[in-house]
């Protein structure tokens, strides 16, 4: 095609190049070039164009503006029900480009060969600066430059509304600006595509002033919801390939068993089945799904494993965690809020609260067990069809397992059950097994974990314990706060099938593993009680429980789950805050305000102001009765329910939260019923009120479920829960009245992370309410009847 | 060979009689509304209506369903509504079941994996109780089936609001 090239233009550090085409067509594609660390972490050190990827060295597309004025956006973040990529991302792009929401007609998310930036389904709003916002801002500037040239009007005199650029009495649409041209904007990025956080767009293009937002702030609907509800969406579970086989995996007897002998298949009964053994990985493939299930059951009964008893079991968990874990496995971390000399103040304090708090392992427990369909082709290309929070990271992990390069691996992302963090590091469980079985049989293989596989062979949110000390002065204020948080490594991203098969994976979490997969336990619960003069928070990390002792290097594998690390640190802090308030004889909300406030309203920090804002909001909305805890009528015995209320607060990703739970507890049975749950949230600018409200409501329910019910039960060999009866979650009958107060706070100038943290607020508020109602405190989770009853009867 | 009456159509199926209906629907008949959640009738993701009653297709053997029994999956809800309301073929084509409409208007699903069962349960409930109270909705979704209908994303509040919204749409007849 004939074309005329023009001199590239500089757009705030990005480069715009243009070619006029003599034929119709044209597109403005915003691409990027690599700057910074290696693009690929796994397999290759060459920074060259990677096959089956959007070309990182040549411009490729984040955003396409089409001649018909429609717009397409791409993101590596694979929405898991948060709705962000289909609502907030479209709103953010629409406002930066000054186009209507509806102009963004297509969102491509997750597929490793069709999206540019990788990373996982978390922190979608990226501290107010998600990649897609910067991409849109760069694009907007480039379009203005083009319009200025086309219209002969200086850029400063141009205005855009609904995708029409106007100035000097003339106007042109975005579509007309890109028509018949191929325009490439090269923008700077850094990072590593297959790492957990993917690539980040660099630079500082001018952003639209917050005061001019017209699309952000409105409750747009999620287009994917409509297709899911109408049974028109293709889920990962729906993908079928020609010649595909169904498979089930026979997982080892314990989390440390090695294979003695694989079961013999009853070929007469299961003529179309086949057993595949690779190290300690035993799979059964069959032409039909029902045969695969039955054949795998038969093979499992006949498969012999070694025994292993290397776990502490629930009863001894916290004792062994404290005494027998290697807490020198990682350097002790201190928070940025460290100040003063709390040890000295605590030593001389005459009013002091000192206690230990314990949190159990919890399951992510997606409502559908993990599954994947893999097609390892004769030329070595691997296609994986699955639901995954971080497809690019999965790509790297599979490449490593197969001794190949990520360009050989393509992950096709589909909707699936929410994982709540379990696959944000690239795998949820079945993907690697599907690849290995497909490779073995030379056909596409679909591995579906059964419910028991998902309960017993997936990762879990790690157990933790904390020692908290608080000293009070004579004015009932905190003079010193000291916290020591202990937790095994938060995130093991080794694909378990690869581990069982004895194939290469990243190393198990240790001090050298990077970022989230390290044994280092960072303080991730930002300190919010800003007027406290002496603060020390320390994080102590260690190896996963049983992993080093396990002959197959498995043990209790951990993985971040919704509000990870912070959940484990905020529950002890906030429950201790309630106890300290009770010790001080001060109302628990007022106590928080007093310890945030400088004493002079005018000099309160912005941090204190926002915290006080959510606390006041939740106090008013919940009908909170201001008084110290416990309640004057607190009772810890008897068959009649007694009532209490408790509060909690948290800051995460620029968003302030406060929550009040009103409960009724029956001392004789230990049964807690949450009757009212009120939560206030100030994320700065609210992008989409309806979607935020729905996410907060969901997080509330999950948080109550964590607080009241959830605990991984295990013996010395492995997890003993295998279904929804043995690992119960909250049902509809159990939910309280839920009231959500959304505080739109535009003067913050940005949007904070929306809804993830809603799950963290319930546990400390309910535990405080239990204390308020009964005068007794339970410093462990979950608050299940057995534990509550035992505590109340002592 | 077994005969099934699914969404108003007679379908011939070649599968062993003990095959759970879920796999027949998904793998043989390409009806993808019902999802595999537990295989144990403990969650509701696989629910279908059999003669108007919610059933868990993951534990219902193919041989348990007689040829005359009407199976309705999520895909069949619009036609079920159209038939109940005597809508014309054209109207029926473009209409979703009021439960589906309400689920969209209320933006009920998060991941959406359990919502097939939630919409099936809502349809069953509203066909017998057109104006349920919150307590009745909670009871239906927790106690009326083989197990509570479970949602891990915590959309119960949104489901209750959507059931009530669906009731108002149904009361208007469209």
pLDDT at residue A327 tops 90: yes
A3-225 adopts what CATH topology?
A: Aldehyde Oxidoreductase; domain 4 (3.30.365)
pLDDT higher at B93 or A649: A649
A81 to B110: CB separation less than 8 angstroms, yes or no: yes
B152 lies within 8 A of chain A by CB: yes
**B86 and B70 within one domain:** no
Q: What percent of chain A has pLDDT over 90?
A: 83
Inter-chain CB proximity B110 and A83 less than 8 Å: yes
ipTM of the complex: 0.98
Q: Which CATH architecture has domain A236-308+370-448?
A: 2-Layer Sandwich (3.30)
Residues with Cβ within 8 Å of residue A170, at least 6 apart in sequence: A151, A152, A153
> How many helices (DSSP H) and strands (DSSP E) are in chain B?
7, 5
Distance CA A485, CA A568 (A): 8
User: Is the CB of A729 less than 8 angstroms away from the CB of B150?
Assistant: yes
pLDDT at A644: 98
Which CATH code of 3.30.565.10, 3.30.365.10, 2.30.30.30, 3.40.50.720 fits the domain covering A581-792? Answer: 3.30.365.10
Share of chain A above pLDDT 70, in %: 92
pLDDT tens digits, A328-385? 999 999 999 999 999 999 999 999 999 999 999 999 999 999 999 999 999 999 999 9
Residues on chain A touching B96 (C-beta within 8 angstroms): 229-230
Reported as a single tens digit per residue, the pLDDT across A19-46 is 554 343 456 555 433 333 233 332 333 3
If one counts the domains in chain B, the total is: 2
B91 with B144, same domain?
yes
**Is the CB of residue A418 less than 8 Å from the CB of residue B150?**
no
Q: Which residue of A has its CA nearest to B148?
A: A731
Residue range B94-119: average pLDDT?
97
Structure tokens at A318: 């916290």
* Residue B135 belongs to domain with CATH number: 1.10.150.120
Does A630 sit behind a cis peptide bond, omega within 30 degrees of 0 on the bond before it? Answer: yes
Contact B39 A290 (CB under 8 A): no
The answer for A243, left when phi > 0, alpha when psi is -120 to 50, beta otherwise, is left
Question: What integer pLDDT is reported at residue A29 of this predicted model?
Answer: 56
What one-character DSSP code corresponds to residue B111? S
Do A581-792 and A314-354+465-493+500-566 have the same topology in CATH?
yes
Q: How far apart are CA A388 and CA A221, in angstroms?
A: 23
B86 plus B135 within the same structural domain: yes
Kindly report, residue by residue over A439-480, the tens digit of the pLDDT.
Answer: 999 999 999 999 999 999 999 999 999 999 999 999 999 999
Mark yes or no for CB contact A225/B107 under 8 Å.
yes
With residue A15 as reference, give the H or E element that holds it: strand A14-21
Say if B104 is an interface residue toward chain A (CB within 8 Å).
yes
Query: Same structural domain for residues B106 and B131?
Result: yes
Query: Using the beta-carbon criterion (under 8 Å), do B107 and A365 form an inter-chain contact?
Result: no
* Residue A623 zone, left/alpha/beta (φ > 0; ψ -120 to 50; rest): left
A489-548 confidence digits (pLDDT tens): 999 999 999 999 999 999 999 999 878 899 999 999 999 999 999 999 999 999 999 999
In this structure, the answer to whether residues B82 and B152 fall within a common structural domain is yes
Residues B152 and B106 in one domain: yes
A711-769 pLDDT tens trace: 999 999 999 999 999 999 999 999 999 999 999 999 999 998 867 899 999 999 999 99
- From B41, B74, B107, the end of a domain falls on B74
Return the pLDDT at A27. 60
Query: Residue A156 class from Cβ within 10 Å (0-12 exposed, 13-18 middle, 19+ buried)?
Result: exposed
Predicted local distance difference test score (pLDDT) of residue A49 = 44
A733 and B142 in contact by Cβ < 8 A? yes
Instruction: State the pLDDT at residue A696.
Output: 97
Residues B81 and B116 in one domain: yes
Q: Read off the CATH number of the domain in which B12 is found.
A: 3.10.20.30
Q: From the CA of A26, how many Å to the nearest CA of chain B?
A: 35
| Global pTM value | 0.95
What pLDDT was estimated at residue B173? 76
**Cβ of A548: how many Cβ atoms within 10 Å?**
14
Q: Give B12's strand partners.
A: B3
Please tell me whether residues B90 and B166 are part of one structural domain.
Answer: yes
* pLDDT per position as a tens digit, A419-430: 999 999 999 999
Is the same domain home to B66 and B102?
no
Taking only the tens place, the pLDDT of each residue in A235-245 is 999 999 999 99
Per-residue pLDDT tens digits for B19-69: 999 999 999 999 999 999 999 999 999 999 999 999 999 999 999 999 999
From the CA atom positions of chain A, what is the Rg in Å?
28
Pair B87, B161 in one domain: yes
**Domain-wise residue ranges, chain A:** 3-225, 236-308+370-448, 314-354+465-493+500-566, 581-792
For B33, name the nearest residue in chain A, comparing CA atoms only: A231
Q: What is the pLDDT of residue B25?
A: 98
**Does residue B37 share a domain with residue B89?**
no
Same domain, B98 and B154: yes
Mean pLDDT of A188-195: 88
Which tens digit of pLDDT belongs to each residue from B4-18?
999 999 999 999 999
- Asked if pLDDT for residue A590 goes beyond 70, the answer is yes
Question: What's the rounded mean pLDDT across residues A227-231?
Answer: 97
Q: Does A705 touch chain B (CB under 8 A)?
A: yes
Q: CATH says A314-354+465-493+500-566 is which class?
A: alpha beta
Q: Give the tens place of pLDDT for each residue, A681-718.
A: 999 999 999 999 999 999 999 999 999 999 999 999 99
Average pLDDT, chain B: 96
Which residues in chain A are closer than 8 Å to B15, comparing Cβ atoms? 288, 290
Question: Exposed/middle/buried for A5, CB within 10 Å: 0-12, 13-18, 19+?
Answer: exposed
Residue A695's nearest CA partner among A132, A67, A190, A219 is A219
CA distance A136 to A94: 8
Q: How does the average pLDDT of chain A come out, rounded?
A: 92
Q: Tell me, what's the pLDDT at A755?
A: 74
Looking at residue B90, its pLDDT comes to 80
Range of the domain at B161: 77-172
């Amino acid at each position: 095609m004939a074309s005329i090239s023009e001199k590239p233009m500089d757009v705030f550090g990005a480069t715009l190049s243009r070619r006029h085409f003599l034929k119709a067509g044209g597109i403005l594609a915003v691409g990027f070039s690599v700057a910074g660390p290696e693009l690929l972490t796994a397999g290759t050190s060459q920074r060259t164009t990677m096959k089956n990827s959007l070309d990182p060295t040549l411009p490729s597309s984040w955003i396409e503006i089409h001649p018909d004025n429609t717009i397409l956006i791409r993101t590596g973040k694979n929405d898991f029900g948060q709705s962000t990529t289909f609502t907030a991302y479209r709103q953010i792009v629409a406002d930066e480009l000054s186009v209507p929401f509806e102009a963004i007609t297509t969102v491509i998310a997750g597929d490793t060969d069709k999206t540019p930036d990788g990373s996982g389904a978390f922190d979608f709003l990226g501290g107010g600066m998600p990649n897609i916002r910067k991409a849109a801002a760069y694009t907007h500037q480039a379009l203005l430059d083009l319009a200025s040239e086309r219209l002969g009007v200086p850029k400063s005199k141009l205005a855009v509304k609904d995708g029409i650029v106007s100035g000097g009495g003339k106007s042109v649409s975005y579509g007309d600006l890109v028509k018949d041209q191929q325009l490439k904007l090269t923008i700077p990025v850094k990072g590593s595509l297959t790492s957990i956080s993917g690539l980040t767009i660099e630079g500082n293009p001018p952003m639209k002033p917050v005061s001019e937002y017209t699309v952000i702030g409105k409750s747009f609907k999620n287009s994917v919801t409509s297709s899911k509800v109408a049974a028109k969406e293709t889920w990962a579970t729906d993908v079928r390939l020609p010649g595909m086989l169904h498979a089930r995996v026979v997982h080892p007897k314990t989390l440390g068993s090695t294979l003695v002998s694989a079961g013999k298949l009853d070929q007469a009964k299961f003529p179309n089945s086949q057993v595949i053994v690779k190290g300690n990985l035993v799979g059964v493939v069959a032409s039909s799904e029902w045969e695969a299930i039955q054949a795998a059951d038969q093979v499992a009964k006949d498969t012999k494993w070694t025994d292993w008893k290397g776990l502490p079991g629930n009863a001894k968990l916290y004792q062994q965690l404290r005494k027998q874990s290697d807490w020198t496995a990682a350097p002790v971390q201190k928070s940025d809020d460290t100040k003063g000399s709390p040890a000295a103040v605590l030593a001389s304090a005459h009013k002091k609260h000192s206690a230990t708090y314990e949190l159990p392992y919890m399951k992510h427990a997606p409502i559908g067990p993990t599954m994947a369909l893999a097609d390892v082709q004769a030329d070595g290309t691997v296609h994986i069809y699955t639901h995954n929070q971080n497809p690019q990271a999965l790509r790297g992990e599979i490449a490593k397992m197969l001794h190949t390069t990520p360009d050989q691996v393509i992950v096709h992302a589909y909707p699936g059950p929410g994982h709540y963090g379990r696959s944000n590091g690239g795998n949820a469980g079945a993907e690697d097994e599907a690849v290995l079985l497909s490779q073995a049989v030379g056909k596409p293989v679909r591995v579906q974990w059964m419910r028991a596989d998902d309960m017993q062979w997936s990762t879990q949110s790690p157990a933790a314990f904390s020692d908290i000390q608080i000293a009070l002065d004579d004015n009932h204020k905190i003079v010193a706060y000291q916290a020591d948080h202990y937790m095994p490594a938060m995130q093991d991203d080794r694909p378990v099938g690869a581990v069982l098969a004895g194939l290469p994976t990243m190393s198990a979490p240790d001090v050298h593993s990077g970022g989230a997969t390290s044994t280092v336990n960072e303080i991730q619960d930002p300190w919010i009680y800003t007027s406290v003069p002496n603060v020390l928070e320390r994080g102590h990390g260690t190896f996963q429980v049983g992993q080093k002792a396990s002959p197959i290097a498995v043990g209790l594998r951990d993985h971040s789950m919704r509000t990870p690390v912070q959940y484990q640190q905020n529950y002890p802090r906030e429950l201790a805050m309630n106890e300290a308030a009770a010790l001080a004889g001060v109302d628990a909300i007022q106590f928080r305000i007093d310890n945030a406030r400088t004493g002079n309203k005018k000099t309160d920090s912005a941090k204190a102001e926002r915290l006080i804002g959510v606390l006041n909001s939740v106090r008013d909305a919940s009908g909170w009765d201001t008084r110290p805890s416990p309640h004057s009528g607190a009772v810890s015995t008897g068959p009649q329910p007694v009532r209490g209320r408790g509060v909690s607060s948290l800051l995460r990703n620029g968003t302030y939260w406060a929550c009040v739970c009103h409960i009724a507890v029956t001392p004789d049975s230990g049964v807690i019923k949450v009757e009212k749950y009120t939560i206030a949230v100030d994320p700065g600018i609210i992008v989409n009120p309806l979607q935020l409200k729905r996410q907060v409501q969901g997080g509330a329910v999950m948080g109550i479920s964590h607080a009241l019910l959830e605990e991984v039960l295990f013996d010395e060999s492995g997890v003993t829960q295998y279904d929804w009866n043995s690992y119960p979650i909250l049902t509809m009958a159990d939910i309280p009245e839920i009231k959500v107060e959304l505080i739109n706070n535009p003067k913050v100038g940005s949007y904070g992370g929306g809804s993830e943290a809603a799950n963290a607020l319930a546990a400390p508020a309910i535990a405080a309410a239990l204390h308020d109602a009964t005068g007794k405190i339970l410093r462990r989770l979950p608050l299940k009847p057995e534990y509550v009853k035992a505590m109340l009867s002592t | 060979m077994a005969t099934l009456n699914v969404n108003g159509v007679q379908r011939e199926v070649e599968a062993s009689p003990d095959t759970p209906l879920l796999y027949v629907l998904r793998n043989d008949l390409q009806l993808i509304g019902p999802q595999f959640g537990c295989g144990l009738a403990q969650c509701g993701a696989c629910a279908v209506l059999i003669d108007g009653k919610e059933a868990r297709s993951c534990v219902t053997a193919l041989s348990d369903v007689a040829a005359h029994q009407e199976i309705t999956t999520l895909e069949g809800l619009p036609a079920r509504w159209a038939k109940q309301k005597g809508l014309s073929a054209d109207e029926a084509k473009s209409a979703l079941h009021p439960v589906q409409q309400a689920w969209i208007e209320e933006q009920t699903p998060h991941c959406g994996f359990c919502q097939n069962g939630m919409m099936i349960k809502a349809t069953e409930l509203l066909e017998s109780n057109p104006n349920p109270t919150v307590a009745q909705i909670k009871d239906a979704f927790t106690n009326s089936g083989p197990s509570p209908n479970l949602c891990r994303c915590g959309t119960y509040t949104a489901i209750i609001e959507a059931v009530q919204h669906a009731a108002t749409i149904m009361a208007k007849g469209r």
